[in-house]
Amino acid sequence: QAVLDRISAVEEKVGAYVTVADELAMDQARLADKAISEGNISPLTGIPLAIKDLMCTKGLRTTCASEILENFVPPYDATVIKKLKKLDAVIVGKTNMDEFAMGSSNEHSGMKITHNPWDLTCIPGGSSGGSAAAVAADMCISSLGSDTGGSIRQPASHCGVVGLKPTYGRVSRFGLVAFASSLDQIGPVTKSVTDAAVMMNAIAGYDAADSTSVPKETPDYTSVLNKDGLNGLTVGIPREYSEVEGLDPDVSAAVKDAIKKIQEMGAECIEVSLPHSKYVVAVYYVIAPSEASSNLARYDGVKYGFRDKDKSELTDMYRSTRSGGFGPEVQRRIIIGTYCLSAGYYDAYYGKASQVRTLIMEDFNKAFEKCDAILSPTAPTPAFPIGEKVDDPLTMYLSDIFTLSANLAGIPGISVPCGFSAHGLPIGLQITGKHFNEEALLRIAYNFE
């Protein structure tokens, strides 16, 4: 009830939620009370959580912040939701996002604008901006986001909270509305590294319903949380990242300080090279829109959601439904993706991008022969003012420069707060690591935090 009261008090200013689930949440809370009275207590019993509005929640509207799914109520729960409910967590609502998770600022939401709780004139980051703003503004205790190219880490960085993108295949994508299937992962957005580990314990693990989920033992992520320092660990600093254009001086200074602290805690610090870094943005913005154009073909007015009922001829109905239901950024991606996948262009674009993706992956594999984790800024600048980049897609895409490669390589990445800009906006440090070694990231982040 306290969290729902807090939402009522600040939602008008922050705009973190698409749907607040008052009654359903209170029902779940009562179930949690019952579980507690029966001595049945999990680390998440009764904990109020917020869920990005692209994970299916049975009986609770799931919109992807798109008009095309405005009234879609899923008949089933995503695997992560099932797992959370089993632990008697309480879902207080569904959070705002860029439409179908396409964006870095939440300005591409078809529902509302989300404001950064640290400065309401600024964006919260995206696409899981609502999930990060809700955690930062105490409108939930923890939340889930999804990360296709940085959408958990970048908003976490801009809102001064912790965001973890697990290894591809670690967390089931069953019931996650697909954006780019070879890149998407669900992960936690939390107030602390401990909470991130607790959430990982709840959601990680093999799921037969997701063919890319990996049948691998899941560790107890909280077991690495001790402040014993970082002796024996080697961290890599990519040479290429210092050449990134448009890196804000406050971000650069905060990250340098963070690296120094991590060294003082006992980690050895070496330079590594990721020579294909300069292709990351281009490769991502071919692969992600291509996969999106295929995934979003299902929204045709027949199977789901919105349909333009005035059109009687089938192709007219498709055209009008899709032009009316999808926002401009989603339409831009569908058009780019359709072009990249079309006959005669596939080899030159999607095929070529996939080859370069392998080179990017190999860069990381080589770097990880010498180090346990790689440090960088999460985003090149702190949160920017609402409206500043919204009409300039290329500048917006370039703000993903540090986060995209973890998705292309399938490796885990975490963003932890590491300081503030001169204007008092939070800055995040990104730590990426080897496949299925989320523990190393949590260990460094916990010591650093």
* Cβ 257 to ligand GLN shortest distance, Å: 26
- Do 386 and 121 contact (CB within 8 A), yes or no? yes
Cα 412 to Cα 36: distance, rounded to the nearest angstrom: 34
Between CA 141 and CA 269 the distance in angstroms is: 34
Nearer to ligand GLN, 42 or 96 (CB): 96
The one-character DSSP state at 293 is H
* Residue 414 · residue 170 · CB < 8 Å: no
Of the pair 90, 164, the CB lying nearest ligand GLN is at 164
Looking only at residues 87 through 106 of this chain, which bind ligand GLN when binding is defined by CB under 6 A?
101-104
Three-class secondary structure of residue 71 per DSSP: coil
Binding mask 267-306 for ligand GLN (x = CB under 6 A): ---------------------x------------------
Choice between 149 and 377, CB closer to ligand GLN: 149
Would you state the structure tokens that stand for residue 348, as one six-digit string?
Answer: 């030159």
**Position closest to ligand GLN via CB:** 151
In angstroms, rounded to a whole number, what is the distance separating the alpha carbons of residues 22 and 31? 14
Give the binding-site size for ligand GLN (rule: CB under 6 A): 13
Q: In the bound complex, what is the minimum distance in angstroms from residue 150's beta carbon to ligand GLN?
A: 5
Q: Put residue 150 in one of left, alpha, beta given phi > 0 → left and psi -120 to 50 → alpha.
A: left
Instruction: Figure out which of the listed residues 48, 93, 124, 150 binds ligand GLN, where binding follows CB under 6 A.
Output: 150
Q: Which helix or strand (DSSP H or E) is residue 374 part of?
A: strand 373-377
Nearer to ligand GLN, 81 or 101 (CB): 101
Interacting residue with ligand GLN among 42, 62, 151, 430 (CB under 6 A): 151
Residues 399 to 438: which contact ligand GLN by CB under 6 A?
400
**Active centre residues (catalytic):** 52, 127, 151
Q: Which is nearer to ligand GLN, 59 or 328 (CB)?
A: 328
Which one-letter amino acid corresponds to residue 439?
A: E
DSSP-derived 3-state class of residue 162? strand
Beta strands in 42-161 (DSSP E): 48-52, 90-95, 142-147
Instruction: Using the rule CB under 6 A, give the single segment among 1-9, 143-151, 189-197, 255-263 that binds ligand GLN.
Output: 143-151
- List contacts with ligand GLN (CB under 6 A): 101-104, 127, 147-151, 179, 288, 400
